[in-house]
Chains A and B, each alone.
Chain A
Amino acid sequence: MTQAPSSASPLGRLWKTLTSLRLTLVLLILLALVSLIGTVRVQVFDSLWFLVPLGIFVLNLTACLIRGLPRAVRRSRHRLTAAAALELPERARFSWPHNPNPQSQVEKALKRELGAVHQTASEDRIVYFWERGRFRPLGPYVVHLALLVILAGALLGKFLGVQGQLTLREGEGSSDFISEGKEKPLDFQARLDKFQVFYYPNGTPREFRSDLTLTKPGKPPVQAVCRVNDPVTFGGFTFYQSSYGHVVRFEVNEGENSHVVEAPVGRTMEIPGGRARFRVLEYQPDLVMPGGGQEKRLGPAARLAYWEGRGHPLIIVVLKNRPELADRQPGPHRFFLKGSNFFSVLQVKRDPGVWWVYAGFLLLLPGFYLAFLRPAERWALVLRRNQQGTWQGRLLGAAPRAREAFQERLERLQEILQKGGTA
């Protein structure tokens, strides 16, 4: 606050607005409302409707940090001293007869309730004092700093990071991946050796697994296994198991002509010659049919949609183990299922900001601890011997942000201290 310009100048007014809590509240509500739209329209988060309030929010956070942090640091550097403790408001008085000396009893009581207590003694009195939560004023600023670190990490990731996809068939290798529609180079080769899906007894998938070989030029290859929740990091990039599918290999005959077509499931393929197209709608590595009380296993099977010219699609089922059924297929083409393998889709990413984000996450924890769980609390007990020789005690204390806990402790202290004498 000391260096801040006076509030009369335009700059001063701007500063005052930027550090005001009203702005914070308006921004929080505004961000909440814009985000509400964002639950159905994700694009909102890339638009100015979100970025402008977020930018002002960052300014607001920074301004509050600049204004408040030095003061909070100064306050938390001041340890409670006996002199300062004597300034605390008085909460209770006690008196004890001159014999026995209540000192040890008082010390025991304080120790039981508060733990280790400081004390200073002069000729006529002893001051016991104790404090907790000296660093509490730092808490909110640590939290706000953590939020800024997280946002800085997000910004770093946005501008210096890369995200993309790498689609590999089994046996295929690649030295680049697709990011935002463009090819981006990797400075190594990633090869998919094998892709596997494991199932539970009830048929739902249990695990997706890509076995990769990663090779830097001139270096020995490295084997790695990429699974869901178990990414692989290599050469500055991280690979995440994202999706997979089958590539089905067909021999397509048309009269004397024969072609081999490799068709990924779901993609429409042109048959060489250009007169017809087909798409694999579904592929089963082992088609199981219920029949006669016993399951019948028919082996690999594919269901195709087949178009000749501009006509309606026809549905064809092709079984690898029953090639003779091809004669029943409509149209001039005969499909024979020859085999299949997997393709695996890996999410590829490099994000230098993620460590900043994690650092911010970690910083939030002590921030919350200080801000919410460590309210400042100060106590002092002044023990003095009267002229009559009796002992008098004054209990002082304050805890502006934890009134209930303070009140409870006050009651307990009163109770245990009074056991030493009468109030």
Chain B
Amino acid sequence: MISQILGGVMLAYLVAGLLFLAALLWSSSRLKGFALGLLGGALAAQTLAFFARWLASYNQAMIATPPVGWADKLQLIIHQVPLSNFYESLVFFSWCLACLALFFLHRYGESFLGVVGGLLASLVLAYASLGTDSSIKPLMPALKSNWLLIHVITCFLGYAAFGLAFGAGLLFLMQAYTDHPKSPAPPLLDRLMYRAAVIGFIFLTLGILTGAVWAETAWGRYWSWDPKETSSLITWFIYAALLHARLVKGWQGRPIAWLAVVGFGAVLFTYLGVSFLLPGLHSYLN
């Protein structure tokens, strides 16, 4: 049932992204309104699916370890948040992308945000449903922690914000190196890259911090140069450079766009590269 809903959501994101593109090409506000509604509706459906999976995951865990008392119950609810494997992380990533796209659309009203957000969210969701194992597995002891929830949420909100900054940066570079009509206006793209990078940077930092506190309680080391930690630090360095260049040096446009693109490469390496190429606690291999 949940996977059917998510299939529909994937399709809706795709169609919404294409509608935003059409709205952009023919500057039609009716199409845009329709696309907005579709994106919002799909996001709502995905939110429902998220809670449904949470419930299913909780029910399954409840059979194995029946909670005693309300504190125990609350603990189990927090532990069973569906953010504990690769499939669930991809689904949540697509949710974050759609959510942030909608947030920025609300603020800036630029259709290309819907194109970037909708298409990326749809792509990620497609990968989740086709390429990964979606069954609910019991939680391994290392993941049984209250930090799981906040750690994963902050990390993926960060990734998604960087994804939008990447979209804006790519568009900026395409405009800068070709003779495409300058729409959306480069200064707007520049501002968007910056705003999205700030949001991403704040969330990435929070993600690293919560991860460090968790590692300290689980293994007694807040930092152990695990490949995931290292590559998240690389990502952090790149975006710190971007923010300094922009805020203090006043750089704008091309160099910032390049940093946003390279930074997202580091994000992908952190998320996927490390998990598939290198062994470690964040590995999705088994």
Interface string of B208-223 (1 = CB under 8 A from A): 0100110011111111
- The distance in angstroms between the C-alpha atoms of A28 and B235, with both chains bound, is 10
User: Is B274 positioned at the interface, with any CB of A under 8 Å from its CB?
Assistant: yes
Could you say which of A35, A242, A348 has the most chain B C-beta atoms within 10 Å of its C-beta?
A35
Residue B241 interfacial (CB < 8 Å):
yes
Q: How far is the CB of B275 from chain A (nearest CB, A)?
A: 12
**B68 at interface (Cβ–Cβ under 8 A)?**
no
With an 8 A cutoff between CB atoms, is A205 at the interface? Answer: yes
- Interface of B, helix, strand, loop or mixed by DSSP: helix
Contact of A39 with B274 at beta-carbon distance under 8 Å, contacts A201-B64, A228-B218, A349-B220 already known: yes
Cβ-neighbour of A361 out of B142, B212, B278 (below 8 A): B212
Chain B residues near A215 (CB, 8 Å)? none
Q: Which of A35, A354, A368 contacts B237 (CB 8 A)?
A: A35
For residue B65, which residues in chain A have a CB less than 8 angstroms away from its CB?
A: 206
Return B286 CB to nearest CB of chain A, in Å. 11
Complex interface: chain A residues within 8 A of B64 (CB): 200-201, 206
Give the docked Cα–Cα distance between A39 and B225 (Å): 8
Q: Are B219 and A364 in contact (CB under 8 A)?
A: no
- Interface positions, chain B 97-150, Cβ under 8 Å from A, are 137-138, 140-142, 144-145
Q: How large is the interface on A (under 10, 10 to 19, 20 to 34, 35 or more residues)?
A: 35 or more
The residue that B213 contacts in the complex, of A36, A38, A361, A372, with Cβ under 8 A, is A361
Q: Which residues of A contact B227 (CB under 8 A)?
A: 39-40
Q: How far is the CA of A357 from the CA of B141 in the complex (A)?
A: 26
Interface residues of A in 31-46 (CB under 8 A from B): 31-32, 35-36, 38-40, 42, 45
Alpha-carbon separation in the docked complex, A39 to B231 (Å): 7
Which residues of the other chain, B, contact A242 by a CB distance below 8 angstroms? 219
Inter-chain contact B142/A240, CB cutoff 8 Å: no
Taking a contact as CB atoms closer than 8 A, the residue among A31, A35, A351, A364 that contacts B205 in the complex is A364
A207 interface residue, CB < 8 Å from B?
yes
Question: B202 within 8 Å of A by Cβ?
Answer: yes
CB distance from A393 to the nearest CB of B (A): 29
Interface residue? A95 (CB, 8 A): no
| Bound CA span A182–B233, Å | 32
Q: Given the interface contacts A31-B237, A39-B231, A40-B278, does A354 sit within 8 Å of B141 by beta carbon?
A: no
Contact: A240 with B222, CB < 8 Å?
no
A28-B244, A35-B230, A372-B202 are contacts. A347–B141 as well, Cβ < 8 Å? no
CA distance in complex: A38, B202 (Å): 24
Q: Tell me which residues across on chain A come within 8 A of B30, comparing CB atoms.
A: none
Contact between A39 and B218, CB atoms less than 8 A apart: no
Contact flags (1/0) for B247-271 with A, using CB distance below 8 Å? 0110000000000000000100000
Out of A204, A228, A347, name the residue touching B144 (CB < 8 Å): A228
Chain B residues near A42 (CB-CB < 8 A):
225
Assess the A357–B222 pair: CB atoms within 8 A. Answer: yes
Q: State whether the Cβ of B240 lies closer than 8 Å to any Cβ in chain A.
A: yes
| Residue from A39, A200, A240, A347 having most chain B Cβ neighbours under 10 A | A39
Contact between A38 and B225, CB atoms less than 8 A apart: yes
Complex formed: what's the CA distance from A40 to B280 in Å? Answer: 12
Contact of B241 among A25, A348, A354 (CB under 8 A): A25
Residues of B within 8 A of A201 (CB): 63-64
Any chain A CB within 8 A of the CB of B173? no
Indicate if the CB atoms of B141 and A208 lie closer than 8 Å: yes
Are A240 and B230 neighbours in the complex by a CB distance under 8 Å? no
Q: Given A24-B244, A361-B212: A229 and B202 within 8 A (CB)?
A: no
Is the pair B248, A21 in contact by a Cβ cutoff of 8 Å? yes
Does B191 count as interface, using CB distance less than 8 angstroms? Answer: yes
Closest Cβ–Cβ distance, residue A232 to chain B (whole Å): 11
Question: A227 vs B143: C-alpha distance in the bound complex, in angstroms?
Answer: 12
Shortest distance in angstroms between A209's beta carbon and chain B's nearest beta carbon?
9
Pick from A21, A163, A204, A230: contact of B249, CB below 8 A. Answer: A21
Any chain A CB within 8 A of the CB of B78? no
For A45, list chain B residues within 8 Å (CB). 225
**Distance between B184 CB and nearest chain A CB, rounded to angstroms:** 14
Name 30 A/B residue pairs within 8 A (Cβ), A-sorted: A21-B245, A21-B249, A24-B244, A28-B241, A31-B237, A35-B231, A35-B234, A40-B278, A163-B220, A204-B138, A204-B140, A205-B140, A206-B64, A206-B138, A207-B144, A208-B141, A228-B144, A229-B141, A229-B142, A229-B144, A229-B145, A231-B220, A240-B218, A240-B219, A240-B220, A347-B220, A361-B209, A368-B202, A368-B205, A372-B198
User: Which residues of A are interface residues toward B (Cβ below 8 A)?
Assistant: 21, 24-25, 28-29, 31-32, 35-36, 38-40, 42, 45, 154, 163, 200-202, 204-208, 227-231, 238, 240, 242, 347-349, 351, 354, 357-358, 361, 364, 368, 372, 404
Which B residues lie at the A interface, using CB under 8 A?
63-65, 137-138, 140-142, 144-145, 191, 198, 202, 205, 209, 212-213, 216-223, 225, 227, 230-231, 233-234, 237-238, 240-241, 244-245, 248-249, 266, 274, 278
- A-B contacts besides A347-B220, A357-B222, 8 pairs, CB < 8 Å: A21-B245, A21-B248, A24-B241, A35-B233, A204-B138, A228-B142, A361-B209, A368-B205
